[in-house]
Amino acid sequence: MQYYLPSLRRNPTTHPFLFATGIENSYPVITDRNGRRKRVDELEKTGFYERWREDFRLVRDLEVQFLRYGPPYYRVHQGPDRYDWSFADETLAELRRLEIVPIVDLCHFGLPDWAGFYQNTDWPELFAQYASAFAKRFPWVRFYTPVNEIFITARFSARIGWWNEQLCSDQAFVTALKNAVRANLLAEEAILNIQPRALFIQSESTEYFHAKEPAALARAVEFNEERFLSLDLCYGNDVRGSAYQYLTDNGLSREEYVWFMQHGSNIKPYCVMGNDYYQTNEHTVPAGDAPLEPSGEIFGYYIITHQYFQRYHLPVMHTETNIQDEKRAPAWLWKEWSQMLRLKQDGVPIIGFTWYSLIDQVDWDTALREDNGNVNPLGLYDLDRKIRPVGEMYRTLVEQWRDILPLESLGVDLGLVDEGESALHRQHGEVVSTPV
């Protein structure tokens, strides 16, 4: 079986394993208890706007080299061809000074007010213009997540009505899905025109749906096909007939589908599949129209990520995990790390691992739907910037493994290989017939 390796090399002296953390920067629009629309900005809630220099130093203190971070899209993109780069200039310059490699998150669960919501068919082209402008301003940036967690974005905004347009229909879901994927692909193409050595780490929620009873088996199958739709369209992966029928029944034209297959296939050689896993990613499916129920962890990261890898055959990065229990967090980290390591040993080319996020989050206990100010102990550090036990454990884990994993792993070309050879791989992607 073949899988793509986008500009990946095997030189352990120049290609580190991607130990990462992240700055949680969600900014969806919700409706508050008084029925008013308002934006929820996690960067504001966690004090990042005032303490970002301190937060970046915490990353260095952990000896973590990679950081999932992006300036707030809704603040930067102020209109067609209008940008306020001031905060992005400061923060990205500091990351570069500290030699922290950013995995730049361009759009995280929300759009600028002037751009509307994910039903806006004009937005993908506008976002591609933003991505192009960003790449021109920061030509040294190589790692991108253009649109974060497209499946969750479309589901929460247009299927279950929690965020942004707050719609609840299959047609609205498919519209949000296709607009977000189109924006993602157009942004990737625009970035490659500026930075041909870019790599796209498509952070996506990895889900599984368990049938609660025999009568729910067919429904669970539908959900388990639906979970792949965002990545199918992003990577040009031909869907099964029932999924195609679902898409076309709900507004995706045949011409649009062909466009996704062509453009996704062209972009795939530049992609790393980012898999996010939490204990909330598995669901129990009852029969009929009863709502889904949380199942807790049943299969876990190992089994579910293996399913995604078998579908797409791309290098993998574990791009998000945490648990809202300070006492259990170190054990959760060890379990996720151990499952990731077992996947590598079993031949899945995993190139990185992320505890998400650096500092605690606020109001994720209600998926940001309520502005309660509840602090969620999910970070490596608390909001006073004091390290948590899981932070101490992650620092130890990085120290123990950083000089070992590159010797047995695929590493990302960071620009230290021969430029002529690198250009060849950028153009075609490298195809390897057997896993490491």
Residue 146 has pLDDT above 90, yes or no: yes
Residue 1 has pLDDT above 60, yes or no: no
Strand 411-412 relative to strand 8-9, pairing:
antiparallel
Residue 434 has pLDDT above 60, yes or no: no
Structural contact between residues 21 and 68, judged by C-beta atoms closer than 8 angstroms: yes
Query: What tens digit of pLDDT does each residue of 282-300 get?
Result: 999 999 999 999 999 999 9
> Residue 387 phi/psi, 5° resolution?
-70, 140
Rounded mean pLDDT of the chain?
Answer: 91
Residue 265 confidence (pLDDT): 98
Averaged pLDDT for residues 306-316? 97
> Residue 149 phi/psi, 5° resolution?
40, 70
Using a cut of 0.85, tell me whether the model's pTM lies above it.
yes
Averaged pLDDT for residues 76-90? 98
The count of structural domains within the chain is 1
Averaged pLDDT for residues 346-366? 96
Residue 413 confidence (pLDDT): 55
Q: How confident is the model at residue 318 (pLDDT cuts 50, 70, 90)?
A: very high
Q: How confident is the model at residue 409 (pLDDT cuts 50, 70, 90)?
A: low
* CB proximity list for 85: less than 8 A, separation 6 or greater: 76, 137
Which residue segment(s) compose the domain that 112 sits in? 3-432
203 forms beta bridges with 274
Residue 296 confidence (pLDDT): 95
Residue 403 confidence (pLDDT): 85
Residue 161 confidence (pLDDT): 97
Residue 427 confidence (pLDDT): 37
Averaged pLDDT for residues 394-421? 66
Structural contact between residues 265 and 234, judged by C-beta atoms closer than 8 angstroms: no
Q: Could you tell me if residue 293 is left (phi over 0), alpha (psi between -120 and 50 degrees) or otherwise beta?
A: beta
Structural contact between residues 108 and 166, judged by C-beta atoms closer than 8 angstroms: no
CATH code where residue 199 lies? 3.20.20.80
Residue 250 confidence (pLDDT): 98
Q: Is 47 exposed, middle or buried (0-12, 13-18, 19+ CB in 10 A)?
A: middle
Residue 55 has pLDDT above 80, yes or no: yes
Structural contact between residues 323 and 332, judged by C-beta atoms closer than 8 angstroms: yes
Q: How confident is the model at residue 15 (pLDDT cuts 50, 70, 90)?
A: low
Averaged pLDDT for residues 237-245? 96
Residue 178: how many other CB atoms lie within 10 Å: 27
Peptide bond into 357 cis (omega under 30): yes
Distance CA 22, CA 351 (A): 16
* CB proximity list for 166: less than 8 A, separation 6 or greater: 31, 157
Residue 404 confidence (pLDDT): 85
Strand 29-31 relative to strand 37-39, pairing:
antiparallel
Instruction: Provide the H-helix boundaries in 138-211.
Output: 150-154, 170-194
Residue 425 confidence (pLDDT): 37
Greater confidence, 273 or 432?
Answer: 273
Of 265, 137, 140, the C-alpha closest to 198 is: 140
Residue 247 has pLDDT above 70, yes or no: yes
Residue 133 confidence (pLDDT): 98
Residue 25 has pLDDT above 70, yes or no: yes
Q: How confident is the model at residue 408 (pLDDT cuts 50, 70, 90)?
A: low
